Amino acid sequence: MTTTETPRTTGRKLARFTGHYAEMVVAMLIGMVALGPLWPPAWLERAGVDALVMATNMTVAMVLAMVLRRHSWPRIAEMAAAMYLPFVALLVPYWLGAISGTTLMVAGHVIMFPLMLAAMVWRRAEYWH
């Protein structure tokens, strides 16, 4: 905090930051619900494909939300990567039989949220406003 910022100003920034994170989560949920039915059901029977479809659905909606908020393309790409990386990384142990399809889906989602938050904290100036 600089000497010219009041705690009230910092509180507002934190509220905007938190609200922005919540907006992205809501956009992701909307993406899962709205885009899920567009995929052939046979594809979703394979956990690896299902995980990537889910990541795609969430990412498409989140990208749209970030475009509407006029974020820069590099920040949008970083956030999309934070969403895909956990699933892509977990595909290897899944293919090797070290984790189940359920573990792939659950762990991918659990890891994704802190990675998104880390990207936001790293570039917090972009997310304060």
CA 52 and chain centroid, separation: 13
- What's residue 124's pLDDT? 84
Q: Where are the domains of the chain?
A: 7-127
Radius of gyration of the chain (CA): 17
Summarize pLDDT for 49-70 with one digit per residue, the tens: 999 999 999 999 999 999 999 9
Could you tell me if 96 and 42 are in contact, meaning their C-beta atoms sit under 8 angstroms apart? no
Helix axes 73-95, 47-68, angle to 10 degrees: 170
Q: Using pLDDT thresholds of 50, 70 and 90, give the confidence band for residue 128.
A: confident
Tell me how far apart the alpha carbons of residues 97 and 87 are, in angstroms, rounded to a whole number.
15
Tell me how far apart the alpha carbons of residues 54 and 4 are, in angstroms, rounded to a whole number.
44
- What's residue 13's pLDDT? 85
Q: Is the pLDDT of residue 74 over 70?
A: yes
Q: Using pLDDT thresholds of 50, 70 and 90, give the confidence band for residue 11.
A: confident
CA 4 and chain centroid, separation: 34
Could you tell me if 90 and 99 are in contact, meaning their C-beta atoms sit under 8 angstroms apart? yes
- What's residue 4's pLDDT? 59
Q: Model pTM?
A: 0.82
Q: What are the two backbone dihedrals, phi and then psi, of residue 15, each rounded to the nearest 5 degrees?
A: -65, -40
